[in-house]
Amino acid sequence: MTFFQNPPRLENTWALDPSLQLHLERLLGAEMLAELTPSLDRMGMMAAGELLELAEHAENNPPRLVQYGPYGHRIDRIETPSSWKAMGRVAAEAGIVAIPHERRHGWRSRLHQLALLHLYTPSSAEFSCPLAMSDGAVTALRRYAAGQPFADRAVARLMSRDPDQAWTSGQWMTEKEGGSDVGRSSTVARFEGGVWRLYGTKYFTSATTSECTLTLARPEGAPEGSRGLSLFYLEPWGAEGQANGLTVRRLKDKLGTRALPTAELELDGALAEPVGDLDGGLRKIASVLNVARYFNTSAAISSMARSTMMSRAYARVREAFGHPLDALPLHVETLADMQVQYEAGLAVGVRLAELLGKVECGEATEIEQGTWRLLTPLAKLGTGKQCVAVASEALEAFGGAGYVEDTGLPRLLRDAQVLPIWEGTTNVLSLDALRAIAREDALEALLADLRARLAPCTHPLLRASVAAVQQAAVEIARFAAALGDDPAGAQCGARTFALSLYRTYAAALLCEAAQWEILHRPSRRLLTSTRRWIDAGLTRLLHHDPSRLDDSLALIG
Ligand code: MFK
């Protein structure tokens, strides 16, 4: 008989995720979780069914740039398939952007959003990107431009749960001079005839078909560098789709995220509104960046969830050497390693959502504020690196099928690879962590928070793990104390330092969740994950050595 391999079947992703359920019960309480469960269950079903089909359709029908109309007029229309728009409707109806701003459950609303996002994102072909920008835009517009009619109008649209009314926002920050060194931006804002108009090239605009966007520009005469930048709001497309003083040079041909319309734009008099006064544009857009980094973290964690789910589903149906893969010890070990990565990322993600919610609701203590500021870059960089490794492992767990396009699996890796890159690369975020430590005493806060996470972990099964985390925290504090003396040395070691801090803080969060699990559940999933995460090593600190940079320069010379 001819052999055909059974394909893996993805099922309700909410039902398949006991760890997500555990964290939500731990942090929201059983009553609130019971209230939210029907909507999470619905999203989990959709993620394995109609949403996934929409995402696959959008992926196979990427955006198309139509530069000229039938009679030769320049029209610059970016066309997206109906499936792309339909994914936006699903998000609006579920309230993914609205929930944390409506705050029906106070700061816990961020956790509600995270749970929905977690289920939505891996089946959304990156529609989560416009959602991230929209959420960040609501945050910035409410904070800096509340009462300005354009801002109030946009916020109402961005938060709308009515799919016919709902807008999304883009964010245009990157210029040719760089996506990291934003202070070099050369877009100019001119005040002409009583209105502001923008001129310049935006080299990487995300969510370009969105109805509104936030962007940076330098008002004429303002100083060089980041201090001279202002934050502007604009609506790129008129009611009939006509461009607002801009042309589309091209769509970006990206490794992944192929359904997402990312473009290169030339602004030639685009009408714009300053967000509040003209001061502190970079500081203002940092509020968008920090929300987008939280979304990026969520996307990375949910990518790990999808990679592990798909690999486990395949291991159940694939036989080799006389057994299903999930009965082969080495394969089981590999799947378990992937799960540990996911568990650590998830523990960090839910803590970040909790802290962001508290900060936004004005309920964070000083320690929580500092922890949130530092955890945002750490979570983004840590989970960004993890999800690429886990996606790569998932493809390998499928053997050759993982490398073949029509299985849909290569997309897992392509789409994961963007997550360490956009919203700040690993190195830029490592430096942001140093910025938070130097300017806001954030390390002290995070280490105090780490001790507070460990304090309730008194179960004897956790004793060795708690001791290991405490020891790593001492090493980190000692290392950080030595960093201040030499800025170049600090930069060299920033990445290993940030990753060590990420791993150590994640271990403390795992201990905390494991303690809860021991007390409330018969399972020991978190305890096992905690031990394995710690066994893999928490710190790897590049100890200060003034000759290191010279040695490195010689190596690459
Ligand atoms: C799936 C969902 C994911 C969503 C995907 C969306 C796709 C989007 C595609 C993109 O990638 S968009 C572009 C991404 N680009 C970045 O993320 C920028 C990366 N670069 C940085 O973050 C640099 O660190 C930075 C541009 C901020 C460095 O610039 P400077 O000029 O060296 O910054 P400086 O002078 O230290 O800080 C300027 C101000 O901003 C200061 O405030 P003040 O003016 O009040 O002194 C800083 O405190 C503040 N600031 C900087 N980073 C901050 C911050 N404030 C809060 N949080 C931060 N993270």
pLDDT surpasses 90 at 393 = yes
Query: Which of 282, 313, 343 is a domain's end point?
Result: 282
Residue 306 and residue 273 share a domain:
no
Residue 319: strand pairing partners: 324
DSSP annotation string for 178-219: BSS-GGG---EEEEETTEEEEEEEEEEEESTTSSEEEEEEEE
> CA–CA separation, 100 vs 139, rounded Å?
10
Max Cα-Cα span within the chain: 79
Residue 304 and residue 264 share a domain:
no
Find, among 111, 107, 99, 186, the residue nearest to 135 by Cα. Answer: 99
For ligand 1, mutation pick of 116, 226, 427 (most atoms within 8 Å of CB): 226
Record the tokens describing residue 484, joined without a space. Answer: 């201040």
Integer-rounded Cα radius of gyration of the chain: 24
pLDDT surpasses 70 at 432 = yes
137 is a domain residue:
no
Contacts of 440 (CB under 8 A, 6+ apart): 370, 373, 374
For the chain, percent of residues with pLDDT exceeding 90: 88
Residue 233 and residue 350 share a domain:
no
Q: Which of 230-234, 293-297, 433-437, 454-458 has the lowest mean pLDDT?
A: 433-437
> CA–CA separation, 552 vs 486, rounded Å?
17
> CA–CA separation, 388 vs 396, rounded Å?
12
Dump pLDDT digits (tens) for 21-74: 999 999 999 999 999 999 999 999 999 999 999 999 999 999 999 999 999 999
Helices 329-360 and 18-28: angle between axes, nearest 10 degrees: 30
CB distance 368 to 356 below 8 Å: no
Kindly state if the Cβ of 301 falls inside 6 Å of ligand 1: no
Kindly state if the Cβ of 422 falls inside 6 Å of ligand 1: yes
Which residue CA neighbors atom 42 of ligand 1 most closely?
A: 283
> CA–CA separation, 210 vs 175, rounded Å?
19
Dump pLDDT digits (tens) for 452-469: 999 999 999 999 999 999
Kindly state if the Cβ of 305 falls inside 6 Å of ligand 1: no
Dump pLDDT digits (tens) for 495-511: 999 999 999 999 999 99
Dump pLDDT digits (tens) for 292-333: 999 999 999 999 999 999 999 999 999 999 999 999 999 999
Q: Three-state SS string across 490-507, please?
A: HHHCHHHHHHHHHHHHHH
301 is a domain residue:
yes
DSSP annotation string for 397-413: HTGGGGG-GGGT-HHHH
Domain count, the chain: 2
133 is a domain residue:
no
**Average pLDDT, stretch 412-435?**
96
Kindly state if the Cβ of 206 falls inside 6 Å of ligand 1: yes
CB distance 13 to 97 below 8 Å: no
> CA–CA separation, 208 vs 211, rounded Å?
8
E strands along 11-146, which residues?
64-68, 74-79
CB atoms closer than 10 angstroms to residue 105: 17
Q: How much is the mean pLDDT over the chain?
A: 95
Find, among 91, 94, 115, 98, the residue nearest to 28 by Cα. Answer: 115
> CA–CA separation, 119 vs 302, rounded Å?
7
The closest-lying atom of ligand 1 relative to the alpha carbon of residue 183 is: 31
CB distance 83 to 61 below 8 Å: yes
Dump pLDDT digits (tens) for 53-65: 999 999 999 999 9
Residue 314 and residue 417 share a domain:
yes
To the question of pTM greater than 0.95 for the whole model, the response is yes
Residue 533 and residue 498 share a domain:
yes
Which residue CA neighbors atom 41 of ligand 1 most closely?
A: 283
CA–centroid distance, 44 to ligand 1, in Å, is 33
Query: Which of 230, 251, 282 is a domain's end point?
Result: 282
Find, among 399, 474, 409, 415, the residue nearest to 443 by Cα. Answer: 474
501 is a domain residue:
yes
- What is the phi/psi pair of residue 469, to 5°? -70, -40
Kindly state if the Cβ of 260 falls inside 6 Å of ligand 1: no
428 is a domain residue:
yes
Residue 218: strand pairing partners: 188
> CA–CA separation, 426 vs 447, rounded Å?
21
58 is a domain residue:
no
CA–centroid distance, 222 to ligand 1, in Å, is 19
**CATH label of the domain that carries residue 242:** 2.40.110.20
**Average pLDDT, stretch 123-141?**
98
CA–centroid distance, 317 to ligand 1, in Å, is 46
534 is a domain residue:
yes
5 secondary structure, DSSP code: P
CA 292 and chain centroid, separation: 6
Domain of residue 452, residue span: 295-557
Which residue CA neighbors atom 53 of ligand 1 most closely?
A: 286
Residue-wise over 463-498: b if at least 16 C-beta within 10 A, else e? eebbebbeebbeebeebbeebeeeeebbebbbbbbb
pLDDT surpasses 70 at 485 = no
> CA–CA separation, 355 vs 365, rounded Å?
10
pLDDT surpasses 70 at 486 = no
> CA–CA separation, 140 vs 236, rounded Å?
18
Which residue CA neighbors atom 13 of ligand 1 most closely?
A: 423
Residue 347 and residue 267 share a domain:
no
pLDDT band at 550 (very low <50, low <70, confident <90, very high): confident
Residue 421 and residue 308 share a domain:
yes
**Average pLDDT, stretch 424-439?**
95
Kindly state if the Cβ of 226 falls inside 6 Å of ligand 1: yes
**Average pLDDT, stretch 143-154?**
97
Query: What length is written for the chain?
Result: 557
244 is a domain residue:
yes
Higher-scoring residue by pLDDT: 338, 482:
338
- What is the phi/psi pair of residue 198, to 5°? -110, 140
Residue 308 and residue 251 share a domain:
no
Query: Which of 249, 282, 315 is a domain's end point?
Result: 282
> CA–CA separation, 536 vs 531, rounded Å?
9
> CA–CA separation, 524 vs 106, rounded Å?
31
Find, among 446, 296, 508, 291, the residue nearest to 382 by Cα. Answer: 296
> CA–CA separation, 264 vs 252, rounded Å?
7
Residue 329 and residue 380 share a domain:
yes
CA–centroid distance, 436 to ligand 1, in Å, is 12
Mapping DSSP to helix (H, G, I), strand (E, B) and coil, where does residue 484 land?
Answer: coil
Residue 300 and residue 225 share a domain:
no
pLDDT value at residue 542: 76
Record the tokens describing residue 525, joined without a space. Answer: 């999933």
pLDDT value at residue 295: 98
> CA–CA separation, 218 vs 43, rounded Å?
42
Helices (H), 318-365: 329-360
Record the tokens describing residue 516, joined without a space. Answer: 């809860």
**CATH label of the domain that carries residue 424:** 1.20.140.10
Residue 77: strand pairing partners: 66
Kindly state if the Cβ of 179 falls inside 6 Å of ligand 1: yes
Residue 318 and residue 251 share a domain:
no
Find, among 99, 23, 111, the residue nearest to 354 by Cα. Answer: 111
- What is the phi/psi pair of residue 507, to 5°? -65, -40
Which residue CA neighbors atom 15 of ligand 1 most closely?
A: 423
Dump pLDDT digits (tens) for 166-219: 999 999 999 988 788 888 999 999 999 999 999 999 999 989 999 999 999 999
Residue 540 and residue 490 share a domain:
yes
Record the tokens describing residue 202, joined without a space. Answer: 């935006």
Find, among 274, 343, 283, the residue nearest to 308 by Cα. Answer: 343
CB distance 234 to 208 below 8 Å: no
